[in-house]
Chain A
Amino acid sequence: MSVPVIEVHDLRTHLVTRWGTIKAVDGVSFSVAEGETLGLVGESGSGKSMTCLSLVRLTPRPASHIVGGSVRLDGDELTTKTEAEMQRIRGRKIAMILQDPMSSLNPVFSVGMQVREPLAMYHGLRGATLTERAAALLASVRIPSPAARLRAFPYQLSGGMRQRVVGAMAIAAPPRLLIADEPTTSLDLTIQAQYLGLLEELQDRHRLAMIFITHNLGIVSRICDRVAVMYAGRIVEAGPVRRIFTAPAHPYTQALLESIPRLGARTERLTAIEGQPPDLARLPGGCSFAPRCPQVMDRCRTEAPPEFEAGPGQVSRCWLRAPAGG
């Protein structure tokens, strides 16, 4: 496998709220190589979005800050950079696509003006060359009649089209790492299929490393090479997609897979996960999944488990995976 584009080690981000300090990201480590897609799966409060915002240091201020860990982009440490240096990295080296295409685009500016902006900033283009490149960029994300579309405004485009424009702006540099935060959640199913295909194509063409945040395991199986499952700010399981789906090694992942309705599985009842998603302000001691875990042991309630090997390239943060005698 190639050299990693991004390496995250023991990242910790804390969020100060009126109910106390929340450990939104609590010791997260992973790496993504060129051309590889890592899926970040989790529910509300899992920390998946905060993790990625921490990578680019865009977590909400002044309430949150990175308290520890390291983030290296092509070997370059990001956590110690100045704000000015980070601004040169955002967009150019790391790009993000967010969930809501309507608010990702400025409604009062035309598509052309918004697509030209990164091109002008990153490549110093002007005038006719700039317009040509902007149209070419729209064409590369398969927008029909790209030259004409430059004059359109966001409200004139459908949701799928808007996400394509957002995608075009994201790869304008092109970046080394593309973070996509639930980009298809608000799109229709058939449009979603098109968009995922487009992302793969862009990834191939530009050799992007990609982090795909989603709660939809179906999308993960379609587009991701590896997946990290997050719960209450920590990665509880990570590994190749095939392994995670066929041999999940953490009770949360197992329960999640069992609770999702599947086409073709004629079951009477779904196996639901007990309880509620965790309240990050009042996490229990020990393993944070313990209150809901169908295989909980006494040890789980008092000691938080470290990561254990659970198979080739697969890790699980669960006492059940502790080597015998451990």
Chain B
Amino acid sequence: MPAEPLADRALPLPDVAARPDPAARGRRLPVVSLGIITIFVLVAILAPLLSPGDPGEQSLRNRFKPPVWMEGGSSRHLLGTDRLGRDMLSRIVWGSRVSLTAGVVTVLLASAFGAAVGLVAGYHGGTVDAVLMRVTDATMSFPVILLALILAVTVGPSFTNVVVAIAVILWARYARVIRGQVLTLMGLDFIAQARIAGAGAWRIITRHLFPNTLNTLVVLVTLQIGYVIIVEASLSFLGAGIPPPTPAWGSMISEGREFVTSAWWVSGLPGLAILLVVLAFNLLGDWLRDTLDPKLRQL
């Protein structure tokens, strides 16, 4: 082979290492929301160790004891007691298990299925897309609470029913969003290039499309956990969720609703717990979107 000079041998690369991006990940981590979430997660996992007492132990003599910082409170019941004299702190600690597990499990199920549907629909287009999207639309329009109530009435309330009822409708949201993203990605040349290289549908979807939707998925999942926690709490409030005696924040609020003016802490404290957790997840989701999205725009 004649030694023809190739154009401009060994071009120097822009020196990436010498130009650190001060706005890279790590700057201004959302400490507060991460902190709150970590605390609640730890509480949920370590509930048996952290709970000061048995959440189911009733004591009619100790009914409606106020929290420790109020008049009449005692250190035996830091957050007071409820209608049946059960320790509020223990119930809230155990209730975190219910809420967080319900939130995470439901969202994971819904996102896995929904993303799959969105990827397939966006990739194939045409009839496949049309059919899948009509199913998605129909699903999205069905009210979650109604479905859960129906299940509760027919099959009986349980943890599984709550997860199923929500997931079965929630997946549609993911399908829509991911499909939209996939449609944008499909227009980009690197997908055509994969086809030209001989890649089939499976490879393109798993190796090229899915990794580029991860950012959106992560943001969506985080934001949705808060939503699911509220739905679960609503269901438990209505009696269609986790059945007693398992402590659940929603049912705790329900139990205390007649005593809001006299013993506000029975409804108020679990309500506050819900508020903190949902807020934390929402803030985290916002931060993730701000951090991850600009990188996405490099496309």
A18 and B23 contacting across the interface, CB-CB below 8 Å: yes
**A18 near B21: Cβ-Cβ < 8 Å:** yes
CB atoms of B19 and A276 under 8 A apart: no
Q: Is the interface of A mostly helix, strand, loop or mixed?
A: loop
A-B contact pairs, 15 of them (CB 8 A): A18-B21, A18-B22, A18-B23, A19-B19, A19-B21, A272-B7, A272-B8, A274-B8, A275-B11, A275-B12, A276-B11, A276-B14, A279-B14, A281-B19, A282-B19
Chain B interface residues (CB < 8 Å from chain A): 7-8, 11-12, 14, 19, 21-23
**Min CB distance, A42 to chain B, in Å?**
20
**CA A70 to CA B23, docked complex, whole Å:** 34
Assembly CA distance A276 to B13 (angstroms): 9
Q: Which residues of B contact A275 (CB under 8 A)?
A: 11-12
Within residues 305 to 319 of chain A, which ones have a CB less than 8 A from any CB in chain B?
none
Q: A276-B14, A282-B19 are in contact. List 8 more A-B contacts (CB 8 A).
A: A18-B21, A18-B22, A19-B19, A19-B21, A272-B8, A274-B8, A279-B14, A281-B19
A274 to chain B, nearest CB (A): 6
User: What B residues does A281 contact at CB under 8 A?
Assistant: 19
A18–B8 CA distance with the chains assembled, in angstroms: 31
- Inside 8 A of B11's CB, which chain A residues have their CB? 275-276
List the B residue with the shortest CB-CB distance to A281: B19
Beta-carbon nearest neighbor of B24 in chain A: A18
Residues of B within 8 A of A279 (CB): 14
Tell me, rounded to whole Å, the shortest Cβ–Cβ distance linking B177 to chain A. Answer: 24
Chain A positions 1 through 23: 1 when the CB is less than 8 Å from some CB of chain B, otherwise 0: 00000000000000000110000
Q: Considering the chains assembled together, what is the distance between the CA atoms of A276 and B14 in angstroms?
A: 9
Question: Which chain A positions have C-beta within 8 A of B19?
Answer: 19, 281-282
Main secondary structure of the interface of B (DSSP, over half): loop
Docked CA distance A59–B143 (Å): 49
Report Cα–Cα, A274/B21, bound state, in Å: 27
Q: Which residues of B contact A274 (CB under 8 A)?
A: 8
Tell me how far the C-beta of B115 lies from the nearest C-beta in chain A, rounded to whole angstroms: 32
A275, B11: Cα distance in complex, Å: 7
CA gap between A282 and B8 in the complex, in Å: 22
A88 to B107, CA, bound (A): 54
A183 to chain B, nearest CB (A): 26
Residue of A nearest to B27 (CB): A18
A276 CA to B21 CA in the complex, in Å? 21
User: A272: which B residues are within 8 A, CB to CB?
Assistant: 7-8
> A276: which B residues are within 8 A, CB to CB?
11, 14
Residues of A within 8 A of B7 (CB): 272
* Chain A residues positioned under 8 Å from B22 (CB to CB): 18
Closest A residue to B14 using CB positions: A279
Nearest-neighbour CB distance to chain B for A294, whole angstroms, equals 13
Report how far A274 CA is from B5 CA in the complex, Å.
Answer: 14
State A276–B7 Cα separation when bound (angstroms).
13
Measured CB to CB, the nearest residue on chain B to A269 is: B7
- Chain B nearest Cβ from A14, distance in angstroms: 18
- Chain A, residues 124-158, CB within 8 Å of chain B (1/0): the string is 00000000000000000000000000000000000
Shortest distance from the beta carbon of B33 to any chain A beta carbon, whole Å: 24
Q: How far is it, in angstroms, between the C-alpha of A182 and the C-alpha of B14 when the chains are bound?
A: 28
- The answer for the CA separation of A19 and B11 in the assembled complex, in Å, is 23
Contacts of B23 in A (CB 8 A): 18
> Interface readout for A58-73 with B: 1 if CB under 8 Å, 0 if not?
0000000000000000
Name A270's closest neighbour in chain B (CB-CB). B7
Output the least CB separation between B170 and chain A (Å).
Answer: 34
Across the two chains, which residue of chain B brings its CB closest to A291?
B12
On chain A, the residues within 8 Å of B12 by CB distance are 275
Residues in A whose Cβ lies below 8 Å from that of B21:
18-19
Alpha-carbon gap, A240 to B11, bound state (A): 35
B16 to chain A, nearest CB (A): 11
For the complex formed, measure the closest distance between the CB of B3 and the CB atoms of chain A, giving whole angstroms. 15
Question: Which residues 271-289 of A sit at the B interface, judged by CB distance below 8 A?
Answer: 272, 274-276, 279, 281-282
CB proximity of A1 to chain B, nearest CB, Å:
43
Interface of chain A residues 176 through 195 with chain B (CB within 8 A): none
In order of increasing CB-CB distance, the 3 nearest A-B pairs are A18-B23, A18-B22, A274-B8
Interface residue ranges of A85-127 to B (CB < 8 Å): none
- CB contacts (< 8 Å) of B8 on chain A: these are 272, 274
A278 → B minimal CB distance (Å) = 11
Once the chains are docked, how many angstroms separate the CA of A272 from the CA of B9? Answer: 12
How distant is the Cα of A274 from the Cα of B12 in the complex, in angstroms?
Answer: 11
B19 nearest CB across to chain A (Å): 6
Nearest-CB residue, chain A, relative to B23: A18
A281 to B8, CA, bound (A): 24
Q: How far is the CB of B20 from chain A (nearest CB, A)?
A: 9
**CB proximity of A61 to chain B, nearest CB, Å:** 19
B7's nearest neighbour on chain A, judged by CB, is: A272
A18, A274, A275 — most chain B CB neighbours (10 Å): A18
Residue of A nearest to B13 (CB): A276
Q: How far is the CA of A106 from the CA of B19 in the complex (A)?
A: 39
Output the least CB separation between A63 and chain B (Å). Answer: 13
Min Cβ gap A67→B in Å is 22
* A19, B14: Cα distance in complex, Å: 14
Q: How far is the CB of B11 from chain A (nearest CB, A)?
A: 7
Q: Which residue of B lies closest to A274 (CB)?
A: B8
